[in-house]
Structure 1
């Protein structure tokens, strides 16, 4: 035990936070990689006029992620966040390679790739649920927004990495280009696996399992003040004691009991709105969007994803700077309002000026991405990581992740079908209305969490939930 303690004491807090959030690289890479691979895959397998098949190939990862998020969230309550992140990295490596070596057997190839990408989605969904939970449980309340925002920085860095890889490989023969783009996702998965091997388990999970000594040891890596450690341990222990007493009664139905319903609706609702607002339509299909607007071949528009990726990375850094200076609700409402207008205004301008420059819509999409990058993109996962009480955190985080991926899957699936049957401006206007509805939801249904401990958030949310239950007219 002493040898283990000495080995663990060499782990710096920077190392813990870096690899604790590195799963976002996998998440981001797979969101972005199909953006560049799709034009070459369409040409190689002659899918230019198969909108529904293209939608399924693109969205298959998100379909698998629906189940991966829920499954990993539940299993992490039993086996721990760290072990499940390791398992996710292994699954990601295997199915990334299998995606890159898809057999060329006509239409059968498309179905093979869809199935493999669904299985890959299990790992992507797991990462989307586990990383925010792990980071929120490791970060101090005063810096939780900023440190949890590392997850978003990793996600958008993974997206930018995939866009750059796509651009560098675009001059290879078509078949080799898309295969390497998909297969190279195994590299960051391997890096994640090796890094997480040295990470400690979450102190909250350790206390829940009764290992107070190890929980204290982990807190010494990431907290400088001994008094802060004692106070945090006492607070976590009190909550953990209450949750252990009720553990035998905890089930999926517990999420919607009067004690937790308000917080679950708030967290799951924000996670769902983030995707139904249409951001991933841009990230998955921007070369095809530009192609439809300008008539230029999609494979020649791979610089546009890099532009979007750079905006996303800059936005994530802006968020880390402002994360703990502004309320979560304020940022979500301001961001959602601008995002909604960025989608709705091109439709209005096109209606008033039918000869509108086709690149106008792309400019507005860049404005949308800029505001999304430092509001809804990072704050969704910060809220998911901090709003759910310990007793239901695994299940609730998994449910939120699954609803997030349901939205991502549906957007990825139906966007090419919608744009094949109506003007792009009209499609984005629909997403704009959803953005405005998201603002209304945040204003009426989401509690403020900035600067509160996880235990304070639980008390705040459950108390408001009881008030709502006793005064339904309010």
Structure 2
């Protein structure tokens, strides 16, 4: 025990926060890596005309993530955040390698890769849920507000890293290129595993298990003021007590009772719109989009994902600068409106000017990514974290996350099918209309959370429920 304590005490808060951030890099790398691998995989396995298989291979990770996040949340309450992050890293490593060594068995290879990537998705969903939760429980209260922006920055940095790796490997023989791109995802997973091995367990989990002495010891490693430790322990105990009482009094049906329905619809709706607006269609398929627009081979267009990645990183930094200067609703509505127009205008221009430069659509996609990166991308999870009352927070947050992953999976699945049957401009115009519907949804259904306490936000939902109850025709 003394050896463990000495080993743990050497761990700095910077080390803990770095590996919390590194979890975001791992998540982002896997989101982005298929962008560059897909053109080579299509050519190697002759899948150019197999839109549904391409959609399933790309979206299989998101399908697995739908279940991975929910499963990891429940298991982490039983076994601890740290152990489940370690387990997720192992699963990630194993199935990344298995993706890279996929056997070449004709059409059966595609089904093998789909299944392997679904299992990989369990780890992706788990990491996306566990790492921010662990970080929020380790960080001091004054730093938690910045963690959402920092986590988003690390995710898009991971995406940019994967785009750069894809670009560097593009001149390898086709079969080796996509296999190395997918297999190298095991490297950041290994780094995460080795780093988390040295981390202590979350004080909140330790207290929940009745180990107050160890929780105090862990807090002593990352808090400088002993008085802060006593105050934080008391706060954690009180919050845990309130959550136990809330969980005993609530069920899934409670989410849609008159008192909470307004806030649940708002939070889950924003999480769903974030994905159904089509951002992942760009992130997963930008080389194929450029190929269809210009006729150039997708494998020669791997600079475009890097451009998108740079825009995403810059946008995430812009968000961290403006996050507390503008209302959440204002940023979401402005961002959604510009995103919608960025999708709709190429279709309008192409209709008016049939000889439109084919790269026009790519320029508009860059505008979309820029506004998405500092509005809907980070703000969705800021709002979801603020909008749900304590009594329903666990279930409602899980529901919002599930709808977000469902949207991500469906967009990844259906985009190649849609572009195989209609012009690209028309497909993006459909996503543009969804963006505009998202703006209307925010305007009419989402309360402002910036500058309001959680209690004030809950009162908005309660008052809205009362109004609806007294005016059922509304």
TM-score by length of 2: 0.91
CA RMSD, Structure 1 to Structure 2 (Å):
2.7
DSSP-derived class of the 2:71 partner:
helix
CA distance in 2, matches of 1:78, 1:92: 21
TM-score by length of 1: 0.91
What are the superposed Cα offsets for residues 6-37 of structure 1, whole Å, 9 maximum, x if unpaired?
54443333222221232221221111111111
What are the superposed Cα offsets for residues 203-258 of structure 1, whole Å, 9 maximum, x if unpaired?
44444444455555555555566666655554443332232234445544444455
1:113-132 paired onto structure 2 within 5 Å: 113-132=113-132
Over 3 Å counting, the alpha-carbon distance change for 1:469 and 1:4 in structure 2 is farther
CA distance in 2, matches of 1:461, 1:140: 29
Over 3 Å counting, the alpha-carbon distance change for 1:387 and 1:139 in structure 2 is farther
How far 1:154 sits from its partner (Å)? Answer: 1.3
Contact preservation (8 Å) 2:332, 2:376: yes
How far 1:311 sits from its partner (Å)? Answer: 0.6
Deviating more after overlay: 128-137 vs 164-173: 128-137
Over 3 Å counting, the alpha-carbon distance change for 1:399 and 1:90 in structure 2 is farther
Over 3 Å counting, the alpha-carbon distance change for 1:379 and 1:461 in structure 2 is same
Over 3 Å counting, the alpha-carbon distance change for 1:265 and 1:130 in structure 2 is farther
Contact preservation (8 Å) 1:99, 1:113: yes
Contact preservation (8 Å) 1:142, 1:451: no
Over 3 Å counting, the alpha-carbon distance change for 1:240 and 1:459 in structure 2 is farther
What are the superposed Cα offsets for residues 145-203 of structure 1, whole Å, 9 maximum, x if unpaired?
42221211111111111111111111111110000000000011111112222334444
CA distance in 2, matches of 1:106, 1:370: 40
Contact preservation (8 Å) 1:58, 1:284: yes
Contact preservation (8 Å) 1:204, 1:215: yes
CA distance in 2, matches of 1:345, 1:357: 13
Over 3 Å counting, the alpha-carbon distance change for 1:274 and 1:10 in structure 2 is same
Consecutive unaligned residues in structure 2, runs of 5 or more: none
CA distance in 2, matches of 1:141, 1:451: 16
Contact preservation (8 Å) 2:261, 2:461: no
Contact preservation (8 Å) 2:95, 2:116: yes
What are the superposed Cα offsets for residues 111-130 of structure 1, whole Å, 9 maximum, x if unpaired?
00000001001111112222
DSSP-derived class of the 1:393 partner:
helix
Contact preservation (8 Å) 1:40, 1:178: yes
How far 1:400 sits from its partner (Å)? Answer: 2.0
Contact preservation (8 Å) 2:262, 2:461: yes
Deviating more after overlay: 124-133 vs 171-180: 124-133
DSSP-derived class of the 1:172 partner:
coil
Q: Paired residues, what number?
A: 474
CA distance in 1, matches of 2:20, 2:141: 17
Over 3 Å counting, the alpha-carbon distance change for 1:372 and 1:358 in structure 2 is same
Over 3 Å counting, the alpha-carbon distance change for 1:471 and 1:24 in structure 2 is farther
CA distance in 2, matches of 1:346, 1:11: 52
Over 3 Å counting, the alpha-carbon distance change for 1:245 and 1:192 in structure 2 is same
CA distance in 2, matches of 1:466, 1:214: 46
Quote the residue 1:167 is aligned against. Answer: 167
1:9 aligns with 2:14: no
How far 1:328 sits from its partner (Å)? Answer: 2.5
Over 3 Å counting, the alpha-carbon distance change for 1:64 and 1:391 in structure 2 is same
How far 1:401 sits from its partner (Å)? Answer: 2.0
Deviating more after overlay: 19-28 vs 261-270: 261-270
Contact preservation (8 Å) 1:41, 1:174: yes
Over 3 Å counting, the alpha-carbon distance change for 1:191 and 1:464 in structure 2 is farther
CA distance in 2, matches of 1:468, 1:198: 52
Contact preservation (8 Å) 1:236, 1:455: no
How far 1:394 sits from its partner (Å)? Answer: 4.3
Over 3 Å counting, the alpha-carbon distance change for 1:339 and 1:132 in structure 2 is farther
CA distance in 2, matches of 1:374, 1:393: 25
1:179-258 paired onto structure 2 within 5 Å: 179-219=179-219, 233-258=233-258
CA distance in 2, matches of 1:236, 1:138: 12
